[in-house]
Copies of this chain bind each other. A is one copy, B any other.
Amino acid sequence: MGKLFNISEAANIAIHSLALISTSKEDLNATQIAEMLKLSRNHLSKIMHILARHKFVTSSRGPKGGFKMLRESGSISLLEIFELMDGNLEQDHCRRIDGICPFSDCVFGDVRQRLFDEFKTYYQNRKLSDLSLNY
């Protein structure tokens, strides 16, 4: 989908997958989720595997296998998912010339800080359970 504010495609997929699972009545397997999100099963599997290893979901193999929420969706912020997939969401600084932007208070002024804070706060407060499906 392209990147929004430094969020990787993997993190985006992770969010969507968890949202699908947490709003679904039955267990979903990788094939179903991949189908719903229009991406390859293999690629999705990788991401689900990470979510399983980190105890967001349980996974079970074999026929009737699939994924199931392990944690309360009200306890999972979007930020937590982003950080799992992309590493710590840290503000990146404008590093030119020995690690410091040569322009006083940086070419970018304070807008970086402001947008970053707003962004982070928003995703910190927004929980998986706040999402609702259209279909």
B5 touches A97 (CB 8 A): no
Q: How many copies does the complex hold?
A: 2
**Which residues of B sit under 8 angstroms from A41, Cβ to Cβ?**
none
Contact among B114, B118, B123, B134 for A102, CB-based, below 8 A: B134
- Check: A49 CB closer than 8 A to any chain B CB: no
CB-CB under 8 A from A118, the residues of chain B are 111, 114-115, 118
Chain B nearest CB: distance from A96 CB in Å? 5
- Which of B5, B94, B103, B131 is A103 in contact with, Cβ under 8 Å? B131
A residues whose Cβ falls under 8 Å from a Cβ of B = 1-6, 12, 15-16, 19-20, 36-38, 78, 92-98, 101-104, 107-109, 111-112, 114-115, 118-119, 122-123, 126, 131-135
Instruction: Show 15 A/B contacts (Cβ-Cβ < 8 Å), sorted by A.
Output: A1-B93, A1-B96, A2-B92, A3-B6, A3-B92, A5-B5, A6-B6, A36-B97, A102-B135, A103-B133, A104-B132, A107-B131, A109-B126, A111-B123, A115-B115
